[in-house]
Amino acid sequence: MNRIVERFLRLKKEGKKGFIVYIGAGDPNLRATRQLALAFDKAGVDVLELGVPFSDPLADGLVNQLAAQRGLESGTTPPKVLETVAAVRKHSQIPIVLYIYFNLVHKRGVKQFIADAARAGVDGLLVLDLPPEESDNYEQLMRDAGLCNIYLVAPTTPDARVELIV
């Protein structure tokens, strides 16, 4: 069973809420990202969200934009983030989500990126700029790989659209 699904089932059974932490991968470097992931696991974080640095983070606020810039400056790339996840997996089973822009997935090839992410130990993808209406076979590829597909819902999203997204 996927680690995210398993974690939320356990939290529901215990009547608890989940604590999800976001950090920009590679900020200040990937060694620190790995160390933080392991520390968050020991501290009881339920899910770790790793922001994959992107040159044009349009959906992000200033704090995440600056983290992405520092990540890029430290040489962080999607393949290096996946290597970092694989290194974390040697010591931790904390559920990990990649917070990523579609351009980075598309550049590698959707099917290949999903396979690479699953192989590295990623549990889910939150592709910020991929609306469900344009996802083609992405959702099926994610299911086939055992990964959680996560979409964003804004406070202003109409109810009918929330139903589609959920």
Q: Map out the domains of the chain as residue ranges.
A: 3-165
pLDDT for residue 159: 95
pLDDT exceeds 90 at position 58? no
Which ranges of the chain would DSSP assign to H, the alpha helix? 3-14, 30-43, 62-73, 78-89, 102-108, 110-120, 138-145, 159-165
Structure tokens at 125: 């993808």
Choose, from 27, 41, 46, 60, the residue flagged as catalytic: 60
Answer yes or no: 60 catalytic.
yes
Fold (CATH) for 3-165: TIM Barrel (3.20.20)
The answer on pLDDT for 98 being more than 90 is yes
**pLDDT at residue 123 tops 90:** yes
For the chain, what percent of residues have pLDDT higher than 90?
93
Rounded distance between C-alpha atoms, residue 101 and residue 66, angstroms: 16
Question: If you ran DSSP here, which 8-state letter would residue 156 be given?
Answer: T
Does the annotation count 49 as an active-site position? Answer: yes
Residues sharing a CB contact under 8 Å with residue 115, sequence separation 6 or more, in sequence order: 145
This prediction has a pTM of 0.96
The single-letter code of the amino acid at 161 is: R
- Quick check: 59 pLDDT over 90? no
User: For residue 132, what is the DSSP state?
Assistant: G
Cα–Cα dist 141/102, whole Å:
15
Spot the catalytic one: 27, 49, 116, 129.
Answer: 49
